[in-house]
Amino acid sequence: MLAFDTSTGEAVVALGAADGTSVAQEYWPAGHLHGERLLVSVERVLLAAGTTLQGLAAIVVGLGPGSFTGLRVGLAAAKGLAFGLGIPVVGIATPLALVAADAVAGVDGARSRLTVVVLPAGPNGRYRTIVRCGRGGAVRLAGRPALMTAETEPAIPPGARMLALDLPTAPRDARAAGERARRGLGEALLRLGADRLAAEGADDLAELVPMYATLPRGAAATGGTIAWSPGRR
């Protein structure tokens, strides 16, 4: 099983067994080079584990929210690999995987409480997602991601904690939780992906999309049919 996430400032590619156990993984600064680096990183991780694309049984991909470019590259790669290899694909919300990773670390009471995950949104905004972590480290979204302006402080529900990633001005404990979570993101994606496949099966390739808090530029709606332009544009 291959998992990767390209929504944050540091991309991760991880390879695991069918039960989600990590075999090999690689982290790298994403910048704006997702398209150049992702498949090269996949090749390195497969080589380190002594396997090939043909040995994969499933693909797990992080859905964000996060970098528009990173998410488009990541989803396109995941769908292309899954379609070409004839294997299932599962999408996991990045905040879910981050909270699951921090819960495994067992620091600062990450288990059995609400976590507000805050991630960068473009040059000035932020994405806010609330995740509930229950017994045994089970995680679920407590709501859709929301886009906040730079001037808006993220509301923290009573008893909740904050996890922030790639936000230098966030509180120190929130940044520490984010860095702990980042180090375990690959393994968390593998575990959550394996659980999802076992419980619910694969996602539909045609319907799997990033968790955009706002629609990409030029998109007027989340549904409808595709109309191809007859012009050469």
Q: How far is CA 182 from CA 45, 56, 58, 198, 203, in A?
A: 18, 24, 22, 25, 25
The model's pLDDT over 115-139, given as tens digits with 9 standing for 90+, comes to 999 999 887 889 999 999 887 778 9
Q: Per-residue pLDDT tens for 153-207?
A: 777 888 899 999 999 999 999 999 999 999 999 999 999 999 999 999 999 999 9
Residue 219 pLDDT grade (very low, low, confident, very high; cuts 50, 70, 90): low
pTM for the model stands at 0.88
Instruction: State what percent of residues in the chain have pLDDT above 70.
Output: 88
Q: What is the average pLDDT across 48-64?
A: 96
Residue 107, pLDDT above cutoff 90: no
What domains can you pick out in the chain, each with its CATH number?
2-93+184-200 (3.30.420.40), 95-182 (3.30.420)
* 217 — pLDDT class (breaks 50, 70, 90): low
Whether 148 has a pLDDT exceeding 70, the answer reads yes
**Of 19, 130, 111, 5, whose CA–CA distance to 62 is shortest?**
5
CB neighbours (10 Å) of residue 129? 27
Assign 74 a pLDDT band (cuts: 50, 70, 90). Answer: very high
By C-alpha distance, which of 189, 207, 231, 220 is closest to 15? Answer: 189
Instruction: Provide mean pLDDT across the span 36-64.
Output: 95
Between CA 173 and CA 89 the distance in angstroms is 34
Supply the pLDDT for residue 172.
96
- What was the pLDDT predicted at 227? 47
Strand 161-164 to strand 125-133: parallel, antiparallel, or no bridges (unpaired)? unpaired
Name residue 210's amino acid. P
Q: What is the mean pLDDT of residues 10-16?
A: 96
